[in-house]
Chains A and B, each alone.
Chain A
Amino acid sequence: MFSGPLVRVLAPSLFLLALSVAGLGLPSYWQYVLALSVSAAVIGSALAMLVGYARCITIATGAMLAIGAYSGTLAVLRFDVPFLAALLIASVFGAVAGFVLAVPGVRFRSHNMAMVTFVFQAVVIIVLRQSKSLTGGAEGLQVPVPHILGFSFSDDGHFLVLCGVLSALSILPLVLLLEGAFGKNLRAVASNENAARAFGINVNLHLVTAFVWSSAVIACAGAIMAPRFRIIDPDSYGILASIFALTYPIVGGMSSIWGGLMGGIVLRALPEVLRPVADYLELIFCVLVVLTILFFPQGFASMVPGFARRKAAKNVGAGEPTFPRNVIEDKNMIERLAAPATSPEPLGRPLLRITGVSKSYGALRAVADVSFDVPHHAIHGLMGPNGAGKTTLFNMVSGLTLHDQGEVFFDGMPLSTVPVEARIGLGMTRTFQHAAVFDKLTCLDNARIGIGRNGIWQSTIRSAQWALSLRQASAEYKAAMGALDAVGLAARAHALAGSLSLGDQRRLEIARAIISQPKVILLDEPVSGVSIDEAESLRLLLITINRELGTGIVIIEHNIGFLVSLCMRISVMSEGRVIADDDAKVVVNDAHVRRAYFGERETAA
């Protein structure tokens, strides 16, 4: 019961509430400080979403606080709006601001995104400062004492409780999203964007949503605290405010909302506690952050044992992963599986029809006029020397790269109209050449993402379903465990994907690719760098999937023996063109293929 999802979701809010109520025993000055800290906890939580989960550097926190503070205050001052309604208004303004910032912002990553947020921050402050008639300009705006239903919150203790309640409420949606599917998707995006997109996660949409939610909450926090500052002026919300807000998730802990929360509480109270050394305060902060990055890259929260359990690669049931059970058990089945099937009759419309696809990078023709068909339920191999264009072709089929010419038809539908994120919905999944697991997520979560249903709306709903322990959530859990079991990783379900060996990561990729029972899986060098035994068990697994589930497989490999023992037909590419496309055994003996691969020359007869 205690680790139930609902408790996990409610815990941060309850903590803030309890902290505020406990603070009633403190003298008034410390109540004031505690209220500041609680508000900072909210900011830290919102930044945990952006900075910790989504790994977006934002230097616009000050601007968001200002937007909330000013809009809330002006609503009360100019329009006589009641305080609580003003908070809602402030949150809406914050959400809109987050949207306005994010739409251009998410086109970039890393330092360019930081620049965009910086521009936003600077422009907002300048606008606030210049709009003297509205905001009072540089001299500031006097903020009235908050009233709710006639009750005036001028006393420190009363305000502390009010702040606690409001803060607890405002972080609820954040925690719900972060602990659920939405948060997992954000982590996936931060781990590997291409893999995320291939499994239905619209990266930009997720990032924009993260910005919108966190900005709304930050603005709300700004509006809540404004009355306590008596006067709000643009310079209080300048770039330094943004930079120091960044310290909350960085020092507190990047991997969970608790990190941002605790970071906010401690770091906001620190200047009050360190008053004797106020001269050195900013320097101390800077040193603290740099030390944290050097020695505690996961933040201080990672030092607390309770949190460590989430991050530690626990070897639950250490030892070699078992072979897929349902295959080994049946010896007859092994014999049957050892021999690959001959090509099945084509069932009318092919599953995958590639016609005349080309792609050039400048003068380099990576893929030149490639055409071949893959029927339903087939296992089709794709081989060729390095640089032949195989992975580029895969990227075009899966949608990560746009072809210059030609078309790919999936079950009759032209794919150029279908974005990457939608292809999992059609029934196409893939693995990647360099194992693209979501290293910051557990194996279980990796598999769960493979189920699909990763659109924004769906991931929000799934987060709620998980929190309320609804049936869908446990169905997902069962499916994920089943997929992990099929690849032999059930024992490592709660281990972080990043801690797995390469071979296990490839298995995990396959689990993620099969869980949605797709029509076709695209496998990019699944056994490269893997032991012979592993390769064999993977081969058996793939054959089982193909037989039992009817899943088509298109596989790129260099291991020719592997391909021949697995595939029905093989296409061979060289220098961007298809030079052979036939039954596996035939292709391997083809002279052109041998020349392209091995450089064999015709021996004199």
Chain B
Amino acid sequence: MISEFVMIVVGGLKMGAIYSLTAIGIVVIHKATRTVNFAHGAFVLCGAYVTYGVVEVLHIGYWAAFILASLAAGLLATVLEFGILRPIRQADSFAVITATIFIGIGLAEIYRLVENTEMLAVGGMIGGWPLFIGDAMITREQIAVVVGATIAATFGIAIFAYARFGRGMRAMASNPRGAVICGYSSDAMNALAWFVGGAMAGLAGAFAAPSTGVSAELSILMVTAGFAAAVIGGFDSLKGALLGGLILGVAETLAAGYVSSAMKNAVSFLLIFVVLLCRPQGLFPEAKIRNV
């Protein structure tokens, strides 16, 4: 019984770690530019696709995949920000949100047109004997994903909190004019924020590729999970996004294991709903209350 529980939790943590990475990317972009990016799933798809190319087509190792996937997705994000979102940055949030929704779908469609297959399979990161905790079996792949994704996520959080451009992004978010006066370039900061957010997504795609394969559906799956995780964690908190993803992954798998396997998705939606109702600021509220 316990071993079952452990296996379920670990399984949930693996997907959860991937959700966390995705969510962190979403939150980075939101914290720095106040933009809600519904196209994020397409960045994950980009990362996964590049991983396929590197691992399955070019047969280079996974290390190259991580680097190239994040770079590619980061670049895609920056190009998008520069080309489409910058002109409408001044428009109301409604326009931006709908634009990102359709950009996300459009990118997934482009992928589907280019790679006319149902799914591209990607080999695992680490083979070898699994570990045993009592009766519970935990594969190295699971450990690699959980640990790797968590490290990447923490790294992203650290950058944002401490590095110079991290500070610049935060400054830009809370007071754009002030930040510009202090010498930060609004355009550069926005582009950088999107790059970092996109890179996180690309990394998530690299981690996800062996577990989910590369397909256009990955885009919608990851954006909804990433969003759910971000909402649970409190939309403006990076720590929250990290935790939110893990919580979401585990909750989903627990629900599928102990309630009903058909209700797996329903549970994650209900979780979002309950969080929004009972604690809309999420786990780690960071938004400040503004006066009228």
Q: Which residues of A contact B (CB under 8 A)?
A: 55, 57, 104, 107-108, 110-112, 114-116, 118-119, 122-123, 126, 130, 194, 239-240, 243, 246-247, 250, 279-280, 282-283, 285-287, 289-290, 293-294, 297, 361, 391-392, 395, 400-401, 432
Contact = CB atoms under 8 A, between A and B. Distances in A.
A245 to B, nearest CB: 12
6 contacts: A108-B276, A110-B97, A122-B269, A194-B292, A240-B105, A282-B106
B88 A119 contact: no
B109 A286 contact: yes
Q: Which among B94, B113, B270, B280 has the greatest number of chain A C-beta atoms within 10 A?
A: B94
Interface string B64-96: 000000000000000000001001100111110
A122 B265 contact: yes
A289 B98 contact: yes
Contacts of B220: 239
Contact of B98 (A116, A126, A250, A391): A250
B182 interface: no
A282 B105 contact: yes
Main secondary structure of the interface of A (DSSP, over half): helix
Contact of B97 (A57, A290, A432): A57
B101 A116 contact: no
Contacts of B280: 107-108, 112
Contact of A289 (B93, B102, B291): B102
Interface of B (DSSP majority class): helix
Given A126-B265, A401-B292, A290 B91 contact: no
B273 A395 contact: no
B241 to A, nearest CB: 14
Nearest to A194: B292
Contact of B36 (A111, A247, A285, A290): A111
B87 A294 contact: yes
Given A104-B276, A119-B273, A297-B95, 12 more contacts: A108-B280, A112-B231, A116-B276, A119-B272, A126-B263, A194-B292, A239-B220, A282-B106, A286-B105, A290-B103, A293-B91, A294-B99
A10 to B, nearest CB: 30
Interface of B: 36, 84, 87-88, 91-95, 97-99, 101-103, 105-106, 109-110, 113, 220, 224, 227-228, 231, 235, 262-263, 265-266, 269-270, 272-273, 276-277, 280, 289, 291-292
A253 to B, nearest CB: 14
Contact of B113 (A118, A283, A432): A283
A283 B101 contact: no
Contacts of A289: 98-99, 102
Contacts of A115: 227-228, 231, 272, 276
Nearest to A286: B106
